Structures are given as C-alpha cells and as structure tokens.
Amino acid sequence: TSLDPRVQKQIENAQTALQRGNFDYVIDVTAQVLKTAPGCLPVRKLQRTAQMKVHQAKSGKMFTKAFGSVTQAGFLFGSGSKDPNKALENAEKLLANDPTNVAGLRLLADAAKGLDMPNTVAWVWECVHELQPNDRDALLSMGEAYYAVKNAKDALRAADLILKMRPQDGEAMTLMRKASILQ
C-alpha cells in the first residue's frame, strides 16, 4: 500500500500474469519494483513464487544445473562485502539463477538484516527451512528472526522443531523461554 499507485497497478498485473503462467513477466516487474523498494515483502514473495515455477519447469535440465553451479561461484566469493546493498544485489542474482540456492537465501537474509528488513529476514529463513527442514542452525535463525518481529507463535514452532531433533539444545530452550514470555 505504500507503493506508488502506478507501481501497485503493475503488481496487480503481475499477479494476474502469475495466474496465467507468464512467469517471466512477473519476474521482470517484481525485479524492477524491488530495486526501488527492496523491503516490500509481498512483491518479494510474488517474485519467489514465479522463480520457483520457472525453476520447477527447468529442474530436469542437467545443463542448467551444471551451468548454475559454475556461475554461482563468482557471486559467493565476491559476497563477503560488508555492504548490505551489494550483498542484496548478489543474493538476488544467485536466486534469479536458482531460487533453491540455500547460500543465496542465507546471503539474502544477511543483507535484509543489514538493511533493517526484519520481516524479510524471517520470511527468508522460512524459505531455507522449506528447502532444508532439518537444518538446526537455519531453524534457530528462523526462530530468532520471528522473535525479532514479535511473532511468538512461529518462534515457538521453530524452537519446538529443534527440540524434537535435539531435546537438550540450550539455544532452542532459550528461544522457547523468550518466545513463551513474548506470547
């Protein structure tokens, strides 16, 4: 709602395009919007949905996977920058090539944290959790991110998932206590 009315209309058109299967249009429009409004989470979610649809269609092509691995290496080595804007740019490039790239998602989470976009951070860790449901560190980061945005329910869910895997996990117990108090 904080976007310019013309941009809002573009997003509405992109949502329609998504339903019609025009994923490239959705990706192009959302990329343009995210350049000026990187913290607009609904647009980022729309973009990811389109990227995942394109990725699923291409997932059987071995060449794409092999080429993607080669092109990702350069971004990862150059991503050690302390500039969150540069990290965001690198993460978006990685995820444009492969939206299931966990390293790209982690980079996006770090960039979003550096740019003070806490809701985006929580959502990105949720995306990582979907790809790697048993990754304890990702679950803890997700829980802490949800706690930071005062979402006690999802912070508790993350802590509970960790404690099911590791019943004596001290950090998960601390998160559980903090989230319980918040709730």
pLDDT digits (tens, 9 = 90+) for 144-160: 999 999 999 999 999 99
Tokens coding 176:
């559980």
Nearest CA among 5, 6, 110, 91 for reference residue 44: 91
pLDDT grade, residue 171 (50/70/90)?
very high
In angstroms, the CA 170 to CA 62 distance is 42
Residue 71 in this model has a pLDDT that exceeds 90: no
Nearest CA among 89, 117, 101 for reference residue 52: 101
Instruction: Report pLDDT for 63.
Output: 46
pLDDT grade, residue 73 (50/70/90)?
very low
**DSSP letters spanning 7-56:** HHHHHHHHHHHHHHT-HHHHHHHHHHHHHH-TT-HHHHHHHHHHHHHHHH
In angstroms, the CA 17 to CA 98 distance is 21
Instruction: Report pLDDT for 60.
Output: 61
Residue 45 in this model has a pLDDT that exceeds 60: yes
In angstroms, the CA 130 to CA 134 distance is 9
16-20: Cβ within 8 A, 24+ apart: 18/46, 18/49, 18/50, 18/53
**Residue-wise pLDDT tens digits, 107-123:** 999 999 999 999 999 99
Q: Which residue has the higher pLDDT, 76 or 26?
A: 26
Instruction: Read off the pTM.
Output: 0.83
Amino acid (1-letter code) at residue 181: I
**Residue-wise pLDDT tens digits, 22-38:** 999 999 999 999 999 99
Instruction: Report pLDDT for 49.
Output: 95
Contact 140, 129 (CB under 8 A): no
Instruction: Report pLDDT for 82.
Output: 80
Nearest CA among 173, 22, 19 for reference residue 181: 173
In angstroms, the CA 62 to CA 64 distance is 5
Instruction: Report pLDDT for 108.
Output: 96
Instruction: Report pLDDT for 59.
Output: 75
Instruction: Report pLDDT for 81.
Output: 53
Average pLDDT score, the chain: 88
In angstroms, the CA 131 to CA 100 distance is 7
